[in-house]
């Protein structure tokens, strides 16, 4: 009887305890959310099944992870890269809520292991594996970890878009190709680009919803399933990255200049059954309309499911900041840094963590700066050439606006956090005044100059006259004021201005850009040849500035030749630039570039399509030009000889 009473009382106490615990749980979770005591913002946010195994292991898990970590480093040193990757994956699964583990392993793959491989392709595979590990897995399990967001953004900006790695050009080609197949070529205008990404974010969430809205999509997909039914499983109809990449490749063939020159459409149709299956499914006008509805939906699912990216955020960033080209690594660097600063903001509010927020925000604005310098892209995925990347001045206004947000955010950050953004802003905007002035946007240049004067000049904390000069004078000061102690910079500025003029002016059929570049170069050269700096000799005994810069004709010739022989630019683009140039410019460079371009052409697929002389034709009156140049050379030689005699007689 006594035992029965004890059991009954125990049950009653257990029921009361469970009831009280249940009533306290919501409050406990609320406090946990408020003080960010959990890894994620939602208590029920699921962890992978292996987390349960790791939890069951208990304290032994730490020992296992330590062992695997040591083993991974030993495997890396012995060149056992794939084994190291497998163990790294296991470590991350055993410690999925520990962000530093993901960051360590991702960095190990992208930086340490990648440079130990022998080929560019192997190196890129490891860099991409490190990016994928953190983006696709680490940030799924740690969506509020700012350090992981910052690290991923930095790798994209530094490893992929930077120049420190010997294989950086290969990375840029592969990254651009991957995202062009996935999302296509973005529209040129900012308005169209926003609508383009909006179509992806506004697509239905499920295939069933899409098919119910548009029965033609169901018909097209049924045809696709039938056409692909005989292939390997990975080529079946699926809403995944591989399927979208194959579809993107099929689409790119239709618009690629190289594909047309090489006849790749017929080649693919004969040799690639997947390509033929797409051809058959999309040959009718109805299926083409259905494809236009299906493609944004497929891109949405792949972005979310395979790349852990939110199309809604991609649209918001395009709306609020600028025309992102997702083939550019800096667009992704901005995305992840910005997402980290918003999704993890409340978890990093204590004073000890503010430096993480500050560094993350620096990556954001530096990515925008990089996009202003190289964000205007042109790329043909079948050319095997490097992407053409030109400056995009649309980002200047975005940086102007974003600076204010960052300055207010970090005004009170210890260590002069706000001041560091002020230094960045002054340097970038001073150069932007010069850039807009060269582009002919006088009003925009003057507006920035006036704002600089108001914030940091006569209206600054310590008033000064740094920005009070008239616009044209300020541009000259910014341009010429840097050269007194480093005349090589002046020559670089002339070359850079002309190079951009030739590339953007001729490739994009904007002759006004080239005209302004030549005008600027003439003004700069005349300034130095007529100033006190013409006789300047630097500490290494380099020649006078006038000789260093040279006359305008020589500058135009040298820069145009270097643009045409620059292997980092697509060959087909360089040939286009040559053929769009005037006869005078083509005569200047023809003999200089013919031999090196002919050698490059012989190894290019274009050689199978047309003779070299057809793509790089000799300009008219070339023989007369050669004779005139020879006469000029003879005259200069005679003048030099006369000068020497005169000097000898005076002695």
Residue 211 belongs to some domain of the structure: yes
Residue 352 tokens read as: 């000890």
Residue 263 belongs to some domain of the structure: yes
Closest by Cα among 189, 454, 481, 422 to 446? 454
Residue 124 tokens read as: 């890129």
Place of tokens 């040959």: 283
Task: Count other Cβ atoms within 10 Å, centred on residue 142.
Answer: 24
Residues 495 and 588 in one domain: yes
Question: Could you say which of 112, 138, 163 is where a domain stops?
Answer: 163
Residues 591 and 488 in one domain: yes
Residues 215 and 229 in one domain: yes
Residue 101 belongs to some domain of the structure: yes
Residue 270 belongs to some domain of the structure: yes
Count Cβ atoms within 10 A of the Cβ of residue 180 and give its class: 0-12 exposed, 13-18 middle, 19 or more buried. Answer: buried
Residue 254 belongs to some domain of the structure: yes
- Please enumerate, as own/partner, the contacts of 425-434 that have beta carbons within 8 Å and a separation of 24 or more: 425/399, 426/452, 426/456, 428/369, 428/399, 429/396, 429/399, 429/400, 430/478, 431/478, 432/372, 432/393, 432/396, 432/399, 433/471, 433/474, 433/475, 433/478, 434/475, 434/478, 434/479
Considering its fold, how many domains does the chain have in total? 4
Residues 586 and 645 in one domain: no
Residue 122 has a pLDDT of 92
Residues 68 and 107 in one domain: yes
Residues 627 and 575 in one domain: no
Beta-carbon contacts of residue 376 (< 8 Å; ≥ 6 apart): 325, 389, 390, 391, 392
Residue 410 belongs to some domain of the structure: no
Residues 485 and 592 in one domain: yes
Residue 80 belongs to some domain of the structure: yes
- What DSSP element (H or E) covers 21? helix 2-34
d(CA 83, CA 61) in angstroms, rounded, equals: 20
CB 364 within 8 A of CB 156: no
User: Which residues on adjacent β-strands are paired with residue 594?
Assistant: none
Residue 233 has a pLDDT of 66
Helix, strand, coil percentages, rounded to 5, for the chain: 75, 0, 25
Residues 539 and 561 in one domain: yes
CB 133 within 8 A of CB 90: no
In this predicted model, what pLDDT tens digit does every residue of 430-472 receive, in sequence order? 888 888 887 678 898 999 999 999 989 998 888 999 898 899 8
CB 379 within 8 A of CB 566: no
Task: Count other Cβ atoms within 10 Å, centred on residue 492.
Answer: 12
Question: Could you say which of 255, 286, 311 is where a domain stops?
Answer: 311
Residue 481 CA, distance from chain mean position: 31
Residues 157 and 273 in one domain: no
Place of tokens 């609020």: 320
What is the domain extent for residue 634? Answer: 621-651
Mean pLDDT by 10 residues, the chain (651 residues): 70 66 51 48 49 58 77 78 75 76 87 87 93 92 90 96 88 95 90 94 92 87 81 74 91 82 80 83 84 93 96 96 96 96 71 77 92 85 80 88 85 69 88 80 90 90 88 80 57 72 85 84 70 45 44 70 81 90 90 86 82 92 85 69 58 50
Residues 596 and 636 in one domain: no
Residue 171 tokens read as: 């990375």
Question: Could you say which of 295, 311, 327 is where a domain stops?
Answer: 311
Residues 303 and 281 in one domain: yes
Residue 357 belongs to some domain of the structure: no
Residues 214 and 85 in one domain: no
CB 442 within 8 A of CB 471: yes
Residue 54 has a pLDDT of 55
pTM of the predicted protein model: 0.75
Residue 449 has a pLDDT of 93
């Amino acid at each position: 009887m006594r035992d029965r009473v004890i059991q009954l009382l125990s049950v009653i106490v257990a029921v009361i305890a469970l009831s009280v615990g249940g009533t306290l749980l919501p409050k406990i979770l609320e406090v946990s959310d408020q003080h960010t005591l959990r890894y994620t913002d939602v208590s029920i946010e699921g962890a992978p099944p292996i987390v349960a195994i790791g939890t069951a292991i208990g304290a032994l898990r730490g020992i296992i992870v330590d062992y695997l970590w040591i083993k991974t480093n030993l495997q890396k040193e012995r060149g056992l890269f794939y084994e190291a990757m497998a163990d790294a994956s296991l470590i991350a699964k055993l410690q999925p809520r520990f962000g530093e583990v993901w960051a360590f392993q991702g960095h190990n793959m992208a930086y340490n292991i990648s440079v130990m491989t022998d080929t560019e392709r192997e190196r890129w595979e490891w860099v991409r594996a490190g990016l994928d590990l953190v983006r696709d897995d680490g940030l799924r399990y740690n969506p509020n970890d700012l350090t992981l967001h910052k690290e991923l953004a930095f790798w994209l900006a530094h490893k992929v878009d930077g120049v420190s790695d010997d294989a950086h050009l290969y990375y840029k080609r592969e990254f651009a190709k991957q995202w062009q197949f996935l999302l296509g070529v973005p529209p040129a205008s900012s308005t169209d680009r926003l609508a383009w990404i909006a179509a992806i974010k506004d697509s239905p969430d499920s295939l069933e919803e899409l098919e119910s809205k548009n029965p033609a999509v169901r018909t097209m997909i049924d045809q696709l399933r039938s056409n692909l039914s005989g292939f390997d499983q990975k080529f079946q109809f699926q809403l995944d990255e591989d399927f979208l990449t194959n579809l993107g490749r099929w689409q790119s063939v239709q618009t690629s200049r190289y594909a047309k020159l090489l006849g790749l459409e017929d080649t693919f149709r004969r040799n690639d059954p997947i390509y033929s299956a797409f051809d058959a499914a999309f040959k009718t006008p109805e299926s083409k309309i259905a494809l236009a509805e299906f493609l944004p939906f497929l891109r949405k699912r792949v972005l979310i499911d395979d790349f852990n990216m939110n199309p809604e955020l991609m649209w918001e960033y395009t709306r609020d900041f600028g025309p992102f080209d997702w083939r550019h690594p800096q667009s992704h660097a901005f995305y992840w840094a910005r997402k980290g600063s918003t999704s993890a903001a409340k978890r990093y509010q204590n004073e000890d963590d503010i430096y993480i927020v500050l560094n993350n925000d620096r990556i954001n604005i530096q990515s925008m700066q990089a996009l202003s310098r190289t964000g205007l892209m042109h790329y043909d995925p079948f050319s095997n050439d490097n992407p053409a990347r030109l400056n995009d001045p649309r980002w200047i206004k975005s940086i102007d606006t974003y600076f204010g947000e960052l300055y207010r955010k970090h005004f009170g950050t210890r260590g002069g956090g706000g001041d560091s953004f002020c230094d960045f802003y002054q340097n970038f905007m001073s150069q932007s005044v010069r850039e807009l002035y060269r582009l002919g946007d006088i009003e925009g240049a003057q507006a920035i100059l006036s704002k600089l004067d108001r914030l940091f000049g006569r209206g600054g904390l310590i008033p000064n006259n740094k920005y009070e000069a008239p616009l044209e004078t300020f541009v000259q000061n910014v341009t010429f004021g840097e050269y007194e102690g480093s005349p090589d910079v002046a020559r670089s500025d002339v070359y850079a201005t002309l190079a951009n003029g030739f590339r953007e002016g001729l490739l994009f059929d904007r002759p006004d850009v080239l005209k302004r570049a030549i005008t600027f170069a003439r003004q700069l050269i005349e300034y130095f040849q007529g100033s006190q700096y013409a006789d300047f000799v630097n500490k290494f005994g380099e020649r006078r500035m006038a000789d260093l810069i040279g006359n305008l004709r020589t500058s135009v010739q040298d820069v145009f030749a270097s643009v045409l022989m620059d292997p980092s630019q697509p060959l087909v683009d360089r040939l286009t630039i040559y053929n769009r140039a005037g006869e005078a410019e083509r005569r200047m460079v023809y003999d200089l570039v013919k031999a090196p371009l002919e050698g490059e052409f012989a190894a290019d697929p274009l050689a199978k399509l047309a003779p070299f002389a057809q793509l790089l034709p000799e300009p008219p009156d070339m023989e007369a030009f050669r004779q005139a140049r020879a006469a000029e050379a003879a005259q200069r030689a005679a003048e030099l000889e006369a000068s020497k005699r005169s000097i000898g007689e005076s002695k």
